[in-house]
Structures are given as structure tokens and as C-alpha cells.
Chain A
Amino acid sequence: MIVTTQKSLDEILDFISPYKNIFIVGCDGCTQPPRGLKEAKILSQLLELAGQLRNKGFKFKTATVAKQCDLYLAASILKPQMESVEAVLCLACGIGVQELAQLFPEIPVFPAQNTHFMGAEEREEGILEKRCAGCGECLLAVTGGICPVVRCTKGLLSGACGGSKDGKCELSPEKDCGWVLIYERLKKQGKLELLKELNPPRDYQLSGWRVTT
């Protein structure tokens, strides 16, 4: 999923303060929890409350899109609802914000979220961690399904640096050493010989900015 966190209410209020009729658009797509109808409603309630306290009457309406990054889907759901909308407040990741901004070039579209990374959630603790760097040349087949580009602080592609202590990273002692995790995983699979292979340096061009389907 794409991991986002909500911006401060002050920042959001700064964006929307010149407007009255605001459309909060959720996205059921890849975030956890999905920032769908309920999040849109709760944000509208919080901002209304802020408006009450600051003597500013906002009028919100809310909707959600299964995934805002699908321009066609977003258009079919949102276009019929745009009448009298002065500004859009978007609960999706940065991609969703840009798609809506492209869809409605006359209307300001504001992000309600900060977008962090592609990650996963430790649900019991409610912690979200980065899992994929989108590097364009996936190494997971030879690293036991653990990405060294992300999980190793130094992004080393071929084995640990030697600074790991008690399974933790020497640079960020609160963080697990990615290569220790890879070692343990490969050991479980009886595939430690994979560690002897050197992975060639990354071709940074492959991360790219455009690919064809």
C-alpha cells in the first residue's frame, strides 16, 4: 500500500480558508486504513468544528473513489458531483491529488495527506514501514523475499556491511539489520549459498519515470 499520514488541521485550514463549498474526496485504494467515506466524514466534522470555533462556516460534502489514481474511474464518479464545488480536499496519496488536479484544472485540489512510501502495516502496533523502493529491478527472488534496498539502511545489494550488532543496524540501532533478516530467512529455506553470489550494482535508470504497459 501507499502510506500516507494526515496533515495538521492548521495546514489544511490554511488551504481551504478562502473557500466555502468544499468537496472532500476519499480513496478506498491502497492506504490502511482506507481513507474512504468514513475518513472523509470525520475530516469534514473536524474542519466544521474548527470552522465553528473560528467563526467560519464551511460547507462540506464527501464522496469516495475506489482508486483515485484511475483517472477514468475518478472522472465517472466525481464529474457529476462538481456543481458549486469551489475547492477539492483530497484524501488520497500524491498521485490521487495530481489526477484530480488534472481532472479539474479550474478548481484548486489540496492534499489532506502527506505521502510517505510504499509499505506495510504492523497492525497490532499500528506502525507502517517502508517495504519497496520501486527500484525497477526486483531482487526479492535471491534475498528471501526481503528487500535490501529498503531494509538495509545503506542499501547494500550483496551482504551485510559488518557493522551490524545483535541483529540491529549500526546507523539506526532501533532498526533491524536487513541483511541479518535476509540471512535468517535464507537459512530457514536452506538457501544460504545464495549469499555467495554478488548482485551487480543497480541501474538507477531502471527506476525510471515512464514505462509502457
Chain B
Amino acid sequence: MSEQITVERAAVTLDEDYCSNCSTCTSLCPFEAVRRDPDTGQTFLDIEKCQVCGLCYSTCPAKAIDTLYYDVDSLTRYLEKAKQEYDSDILVIVCKGSAPDFAGVEKLFGVEKFIPLSVPCVGRVPEEIFLKALAMGINGMYVLACDTDYCRFERGSAVTSRKIKGLNLLLEQLGYGKESITLKRHSLKVKADTDLCISCGNCVFYCPYDAAKLESPGVVSFDLAACRGCGLCVAMCPAIALDLENWESERISALISRLSSEMQSPKILVFRCQWAVFPPLNGEEPPPNIRFIDIPCASRVDISHILEAFQQGIDGVLIAACSEEDCKQERVSGKTQHSVALLKDKLSQLGLQDRLHFCTAAPRYPEEFDKELKQFSQKIEAVGAKEVK
């Protein structure tokens, strides 16, 4: 095999010609990806450390930083299109990390009809988008961010509050009244059905945050302030006693069967960690045989959901997770990789091993995931639909 050197297109770039070395980005970057060179004093971007949270992009006063995801242009285009589509003058921006379903949003803000905008971290939305939305005739603006302590990008949620505070003051001075933008917080949490708990202690072992407690004698209890809603305990519970708020097993099952029914053969279902792959806002429709389920963390992928997909007629299941280093939780993606490998072993006894694939991806190189998906779909197309022997 010849070694190929390919230059991947990075999702975030810094143009040194525009940069005034003001330090806004270096002080905000949660991952020390933008730094100042101690010798030259020049600000530079270390893309390998970048998690594409977009904080630097949305706060750079010199517009020296550019991003492929959710930039001002694509957000504006989305708003223009979505305003027609949803026929509403209310905008709800939610962070993917904390987002409940639409019914949940309705309950939290008391709004029925709205334009939904779901982004990985609300902190990435530049101020001018709010102003553009107002100019487009949008009257009500609601923002749902993660609780500050649970922000997957550490500082994104805090930056969001500061931005909205500033914007609200500005808008008040401009005569729009007080609190034009409403900010609320929400986080995913585990739910336990203690009637089903068998006190095995698996959740205590797997929880990276010491949120699960088991006293003897007794059943499990969770310290919800410590729970970060990764869903690993849910996937690992042998008693089916746990669930993840807003990502309940039943909801995922319903999603699998709905997606399967609308797909063409050979059907490929992709479970994507929403921090590993950022779907483009104004992207093309996926091919008719490929559908995505964007989950809050790869660790929420349950073996029984993968099997359910195969049972529902899916021909190939791809799981895209962050690498352990990039994992927004405590390196839990490796646990999922292990579970998937064990399942693959079982599936090999049925001759289905090639139909399940685990890959890692990071939004910093968008083409990486596209390549994985292309390879996998070529493989599934080559083996075709599952056949009855």
C-alpha cells in the first residue's frame, strides 16, 4: 500500500493578516488550541487540540477566525429559510448538549410554534445573528443552554450568558424593552427505576463522575448534581433499570423504526456522537439509503438498539464516536468501542460482522467522517441487503 499524504481541510482557521493579537480568543479557548507564540507574540491555532466549539470565532473582534460550521453566513441563510418553513416569528436556539425534544422546548418556554435552531454549544452563535434575526422580523428569542457546570466546551455556557446579558442591555437602550432574549438552562440526567434495580453496582463502576451510589443493603441512588448525562450507565445496566432523560430507550427505538421505514435499500443507519460530527446547517439531504441518529454521547449507544436496527431491516450500522482524547465526557467512548467489538464478535457467528462498524471522528476535519461513511456505504452496497439463507 502506498502511503498517501493528504491535507485535510480544517474546520477552523486563523488568518494572521487580520489578527491583532488582542488575546480574546486565547483567553477564552477551553482547550488551549489558540495560543500566543512566546517568542514572536503571534497568535496561532493548534488545530489538533481544537474541539470546534466556535467560541473564538464568535468573539474575535477582528474577524480573523473563520469556521466551516455555523458561521454568520450559514446561520443567516438558515434563518431566512427556516422563517418561511416554520412560519413563525419566534426563534428558539438550543444547545445540542442539553436539548430536550420539541415538546420539551414548548414546555420550558411556553411557546408552541417556533423556529428551532440546534447547535453544538450556543456560545458559538455570534451576537450579530440575534440582531439579524430582529431585523428579519423575529420578535421572540429564546436560548436554551446547558447548565454552566455541564457545558461540554467548559466555557461555552458561561460565554452565552455574558453575550445575552450584553445584548439585552443593548436592545433595551435601542428601545426593544427589557430582556428581549430569554435564557434558560437545562441538562440531561439519568433516570432510575429503583423497582428494577438489582443492586449489581455496574453503574457505580462505570460512572465517570461518581454520581451513582449503592449502599448495602439498598438500591442505587444518583447524585444528579454530579451526573453529566453521558448515558454510559444506561447502556451498561443489566437490569434495564436506567434511562437518560430525553434520550429514553423507547424514544430511540421509535426513531429507529421510523427511519428504517422511510429508507431505501441497502439501509445504513449511523449513530453519530453529536460532538464527533457536526451536521452542516444547510446541508444536502442524505442519500435515500442513509439516515443519522445524533446522540448526546457515543456511550448512549445501546447494544440492544444496534440489534433492533438489524431486526428492523437495517443492512449496516455505523457508529461515529469521538476518540477517547476528544471525548467530551470522561473518556467513555472507549467503553462503547469495547461493547461494539463484543457485539461484532457475536454477529460474526451470524455472518453479519461486516455490517457493524465503529469509527472515530472529530469535527476539526469534516472530511474524515465523510470518508468513513463513504467507505462503509460502499462496503454495504457491495454485500447488499441481508439475505435469508
A10 to B388, CA, bound (A): 16
* Interface 0/1 of A40-58, CB less than 8 Å to B: 0110011011101111000
List residues of A (28-50) whose CB comes within 8 Å of B's CBs: 28, 32-39, 41-42, 45-46, 48-50
Q: A46 near B350 (CB under 8 angstroms)?
A: yes
Q: B238 near A52 (CB under 8 angstroms)?
A: no
- Given A28-B198, A34-B198, A34-B239; A53-B307 close (CB under 8 Å): no
Number of B residues contacting the other chain (C-beta, 8 Å)? Answer: 27
- Given A34-B239, A46-B350, A123-B205; A55-B389 close (CB under 8 Å): yes
Chain B minimum-CB-distance residue to A8: B349
* Contact of B237 (CB < 8 Å), options: A38, A45, A126: A38
* Contact of B386 (CB < 8 Å), options: A8, A34, A53, A55: A53
Q: A37 near B239 (CB under 8 angstroms)?
A: yes
A10 to B346, CA, bound (A): 11
Task: State the Cβ distance, B220 to closest chain A Cβ, in Å.
Answer: 13
Could you tell me the dominant secondary structure of chain B's interface residues?
loop
* Contact of A33 (CB < 8 Å), options: B202, B240, B352: B202
Q: B239 near A45 (CB under 8 angstroms)?
A: no
**Residues of the A chain whose Cβ atoms lie less than 8 Å from the Cβ of B388:** 52-55
Q: Does A9 sit within 8 A of B, measured CB to CB?
A: yes
Q: Does B308 sit within 8 A of A, measured CB to CB?
A: yes
Chain A minimum-CB-distance residue to B235: A38
Q: B389 near A53 (CB under 8 angstroms)?
A: yes
Number of A residues contacting the other chain (C-beta, 8 Å)? Answer: 27
* Contact of A42 (CB < 8 Å), options: B307, B349, B350: B307
**Residues of the B chain whose Cβ atoms lie less than 8 Å from the Cβ of A101:** none
Task: State the Cβ distance, B31 to closest chain A Cβ, in Å.
Answer: 27
**Residues of the B chain whose Cβ atoms lie less than 8 Å from the Cβ of A55:** 388-389
Q: Does B303 sit within 8 A of A, measured CB to CB?
A: yes
A52 to B237, CA, bound (A): 27
Q: B307 near A37 (CB under 8 angstroms)?
A: no
Task: State the Cβ distance, A109 to closest chain B Cβ, in Å.
Answer: 21
Q: Does A66 sit within 8 A of B, measured CB to CB?
A: yes
Q: Does B27 sit within 8 A of A, measured CB to CB?
A: no
Chain B minimum-CB-distance residue to A50: B350
A41 to B302, CA, bound (A): 12
Task: State the Cβ distance, A29 to closest chain B Cβ, in Å.
Answer: 9
A135 to B50, CA, bound (A): 59
Q: Does B311 sit within 8 A of A, measured CB to CB?
A: yes
* Contact of B304 (CB < 8 Å), options: A34, A35, A42, A54: A42
Task: State the Cβ distance, B233 to closest chain A Cβ, in Å.
Answer: 12
Task: State the Cβ distance, B128 to closest chain A Cβ, in Å.
Answer: 49
A8 to B239, CA, bound (A): 23
Q: B200 near A49 (CB under 8 angstroms)?
A: no
Q: A45 near B389 (CB under 8 angstroms)?
A: no
A-B contact pairs, 12 of them (CB 8 A): A28-B239, A33-B202, A33-B236, A36-B200, A38-B240, A41-B304, A46-B347, A48-B311, A49-B350, A53-B351, A53-B387, A53-B389
Q: A32-B200, A37-B239, A42-B304 are in contact. List 14 more A-B contacts (CB 8 A).
A: A9-B346, A9-B350, A10-B349, A33-B236, A34-B198, A34-B200, A34-B239, A38-B239, A41-B304, A52-B386, A53-B350, A53-B389, A64-B198, A123-B205
